[in-house]
Amino acid sequence: MTWSPDSSITGSAQTGFTDPTFTVVDDLPPANIGAAKQLAVTALGGTQTGATAHSASLPFTATLIKPATLRSLPAPNPVTGLRAPAPVNLWKLIIRKGGYVSSGVPAIATLRMEIGIPAGMETYSPAEIRAMLSFALGLSFEESADLGDTLVTGVVGT
């Protein structure tokens, strides 16, 4: 299975939002970013007072960018038998959300997730990659409202 989100995505908890959902459609990513797939949020569901769907002036997109060239594990040195350090295949997920910083002044907030997978790990330790993603996304889902509150208030807590 490849990255292919359903057309309706259930959002996680956020203060002031009730049962948030997001309707997405396939979109074309900017031409200068290489091999990528992009989605645009065309409709919001549940209660998300003050939030807006994608528009030209206030984008709401998710873009998954694949490494330009997937690198493989280098062969061992024929003399020493040692391998050079494993190169890293860097995947990127970028979420862009337009909003206003003042009356009539649009701006774009971004969330960037980079996932660096050492070449060969996808073959020899796929469960470790899945565990990393499961933890990261589970933590993000579990802490969604708290992180939202922290970003809005600027208070991290102790």
Whether residue 154 is contained in a domain is answered as no
pLDDT tens digits along 68-95: 899 999 999 999 999 999 999 999 999 9
- Domain range spanning residue 37? 8-70+86-119
Total domains in the chain come to: 1
Over residues 9-14, mean pLDDT: 91
Alpha-carbon separation of residue 144 from 55, 136, 156 (angstroms) = 24, 12, 14
pLDDT tens digits along 88-122: 999 999 999 999 999 999 999 999 999 999 999 99
Measuring CA to CA, which residue among 95, 91, 73, 68 is closest to residue 83?
73
Whether residue 131 is contained in a domain is answered as no
Whether residue 58 is contained in a domain is answered as yes
* pTM tops 0.75, yes or no: yes
